Amino acid sequence: MDITNLTATEIAAKARGGELTPGEVVNAFRRRVDAYDAAVGAFLCLNERENDHKKEGPLAGVPVAVKDNICTDWLPTTAASRVIENYRPPYNATVVKRLLAAGAYVVGKTNLDEFAMGSSTEYSAFFPARNPHDLTRSPGGSSGGSAAAVCAGFAPVALGSDTGGSIRQPAAMCGVVGLKPTYGRVSRYGLIAFAPSFDQIGPLARTVKDAALILKVIAGHDRYEATSSRREVPDYVAGLERDHGPFKVGLIDEFFGDDVAPGVRAATEEALEGLRKMGHAVERTTIPSAAWALPTYFVTACGETYSNLARYQGVLFGPRKANYDGPADMVAKTRARGFGGEVRRRLAAGAYVLSVGYRDRYYAKAQTIRQHMRAQFAAAFGEFDFLVSPVSPFTAFELNTRNLDPQLMYLADIFTSLANLVGIPALSMPCGFDEKGLPVALQVMAAPWDEERLLAVAHRLELELALPRDVVTPKPP
Ligand code: GLN
């Protein structure tokens, strides 16, 4: 038996039944990391602590990779930024506490774009991550390390964070499942903030069932996080067998235009055909404000970033160097040394959209558009159970291409940021391969708090499509 090819669900069952010891499991994954991660670059640091292997709980013995913008009190948490490269948080994020209490083992902290700003993991201050399907390509981002880790079999499941697409887009590029939950479903306590009105933590996994298993553990109210909901957490795993429809599914027209690559279009159509075979009705529909998603997202997210990153000034956070001339110079020097180019670009844009005289023209207008979007989605979910689109107009791209032009990089989120703007749950699931053999993914969106049915329909479609779910062994280019 190849332990690293098992799902989290299978590992937990075998660990509880005594068929596998948690130590064996951890060692098997560790050997794979040691063999292949030098080529992939999924991890920024590995857990060397031996004593937290457990054989009880829903995640007994399950290794989980955690994105390095989620706080761990025994491992550094860098957000892939020089400005906090030596930061060791004094507490665990709520999601980490819940994973550990459920019996999971944290394998290590995964690579990301600095502060989760980016779509390729090339903006990591340390090194880029690579796509296990083709090491010359990006795994997507910003949770590229988490997606690559799951894809390559370094861990059966991982946590990512999604502000504008950062769980779904890398999941799509690597051919794994990724879920951005409803805003407020999962506590953000201990997640290093990027744009807090969008940020949400969620699972990456090789099956929908594993994603359901992780969501069930991490979701729910947290008294340390005011936007976390008090709504009851359903049993998402049991829910997979519950509601089978038939459902009415809407394909968003604005997200299925000429910019969609032919290979992505073909695989998406296959998935829609799969839904029809299962008895669901699939119709085209329109969300007119969808065309505004990207600019609305960037204006708002940059504005929020500008105020959130103010804490990295060399006093509370960030390395303060000895030679400076007064407080302003100290802050400027800390930031100039600590922040990479993309972060600085966003801070400049954020300062601009919030400044007196421009605020109404940009930030306030973006807020108004966001309200329109919410209304249009509410109307759409009155008619449809689910809305679908491709996750990305293109498949995994080569390293050192899009990072040369910020505009091209931003286009990676053209279909994903809308779900963050309106706070709805959205899932990315593999639906085929393009002509180069690279994974293509379908995005399935549901009304707020409808994760249970969202996971159930995705689980059924996954069975219908029957794509390979084996771990991918990276080959030297
Ligand atoms: N790629 C998007 C950005 O650069 C989204 C990032 C994210 O979801 N964290 O802002």
pLDDT of 161 reads: 98
Atom of ligand 1 nearest to the CA of 166: 8
Atom of ligand 1 nearest to the CA of 420: 8
pLDDT of 245 reads: 87
User: Which of 133, 136, 162 is CA-nearest to residue 67?
Assistant: 162
Give CA 415 to chain center in angstroms: 14
DSSP state of 393: S
Ligand 1 site-directed mutation target among 111, 142, 345, 346, most atoms within 8 Å of CB: 142
Query: How is the chain split among helix, strand and coil, in percent rounded to 5?
Result: 40, 15, 45
Q: Is 413 in the pocket of ligand 1 (CB under 6 A)?
A: yes
Q: How many Å lie between the centroid of ligand 1 and the Cα of residue 357? A: 27
Indicate which residue of 124, 166, 228, 392 is catalytic: 166
With tokens 């940021």, the residue in question is: 417
Q: Is 166 in the pocket of ligand 1 (CB under 6 A)?
A: yes
Q: How do beta strands 105-110 and 63-67 pair?
A: parallel
DSSP state of 14: H
User: Which of 298, 293, 332, 329 is CA-nearest to residue 312?
Assistant: 332
pLDDT of 52 reads: 64
Q: pLDDT above 90 covers what percent of the chain?
A: 91
pLDDT digits (tens, 9 = 90+) for 238-260: 999 997 889 999 999 999 999 99
CATH number of 3-243+424-465: 3.90.1300.10
Q: Does residue 91 contact residue 190 with C-beta atoms inside 8 Å? A: yes
Ligand 1 site-directed mutation target among 121, 296, 411, 417, most atoms within 8 Å of CB: 417
Strand, coil or helix: 184 = coil
Q: Return the structure tokens found at 73.
A: 């009190």
Peptide bond into 246 cis (omega under 30): yes
pLDDT of 477 reads: 78
Give CA 293 to chain center in angstroms: 18
pLDDT of 436 reads: 97
pLDDT digits (tens, 9 = 90+) for 164-180: 999 999 999 999 999 99
pLDDT digits (tens, 9 = 90+) for 341-394: 999 999 999 999 999 999 999 999 999 999 999 999 999 999 999 999 999 999
Q: pLDDT above 70 covers what percent of the chain?
A: 99
Q: How many Å lie between the centroid of ligand 1 and the Cα of residue 4? A: 30
pLDDT digits (tens, 9 = 90+) for 14-26: 999 999 998 999 9
Q: Is 403 in the pocket of ligand 1 (CB under 6 A)?
A: no
pLDDT of 55 reads: 78
* Cα 192 to Cα 83, 153, 288, distances in angstroms: 13, 26, 33
- Please name the amino acid found at residue 288: P
Residue 319 predicted with pLDDT over 80? no
Contacts 24+ apart (CB under 8 A), 352-361: 353/299, 353/302, 353/303, 354/303, 354/306, 354/307
pLDDT of 51 reads: 61
Distance in angstroms (rounded) separating the CA atoms of residues 324 and 317: 17
* Residue 99 pLDDT level (bands cut at 50, 70, 90): very high
Q: Return the structure tokens found at 5.
A: 């090819």
DSSP string, 320-365: PPS--SSHHHHHHHHHHHH--HHHHHHHHHHHHHHSTTTTIIIIIH
Q: How many Å lie between the centroid of ligand 1 and the Cα of residue 98? A: 25
Q: Any catalytic annotation for residue 180?
A: no
Mean pLDDT of 407-431: 97
pLDDT of 317 reads: 83
Alpha helices in 203-338 (DSSP H): 208-218, 236-239, 262-277, 293-308, 327-338
Q: Does residue 204 contact residue 150 with C-beta atoms inside 8 Å? A: yes
Q: Any catalytic annotation for residue 187?
A: no
Residue 430 neighbours by CB under 8 Å, 6+ apart: 172, 175, 176, 177, 439, 440, 441, 442, 465, 467
Q: Which of 37-51, 119-133, 145-159 has the lowest mean pLDDT?
A: 37-51
Give CA 238 to chain center in angstroms: 24
Residues forming beta bridges with residue 248, ordered by sequence position: 281
Mean pLDDT of 54-68: 93
- Tallying the residues shown for the chain, one arrives at 477
Q: How many Å lie between the centroid of ligand 1 and the Cα of residue 413? A: 7
Q: 32: exposed, middle or buried (C-beta count within 10 Å: 0-12, 13-18, 19+)?
A: buried
Ligand 1 site-directed mutation target among 111, 119, 188, 346, most atoms within 8 Å of CB: 119
Residue 400 predicted with pLDDT over 80? yes
Q: Is 140 in the pocket of ligand 1 (CB under 6 A)?
A: no
Please state the domain extents for the chain. Answer: 3-243+424-465
Residues forming beta bridges with residue 443, ordered by sequence position: 389, 428
Pick the residue whose CA is nearest to atom 10 on ligand 1: 117
Indicate which residue of 67, 209, 216, 333 is catalytic: 67
What pTM, to 2 d.p., does this model score?
A: 0.97
Q: Pick the residue with more confidence: 155 or 52?
A: 155
Q: Return the structure tokens found at 342.
A: 């993309």
Mean pLDDT score of the chain: 96
Peptide bond into 142 cis (omega under 30): yes
pLDDT of 54 reads: 74
Residues forming beta bridges with residue 241, ordered by sequence position: none
pLDDT of 459 reads: 98
Atom of ligand 1 nearest to the CA of 143: 9
Distance in angstroms (rounded) separating the CA atoms of residues 221 and 198: 17
Q: How many Å lie between the centroid of ligand 1 and the Cα of residue 282? A: 29
Q: How many Å lie between the centroid of ligand 1 and the Cα of residue 43? A: 19
Distance in angstroms (rounded) separating the CA atoms of residues 410 and 113: 13
Q: Is 122 in the pocket of ligand 1 (CB under 6 A)?
A: no
With tokens 């991550």, the residue in question is: 129
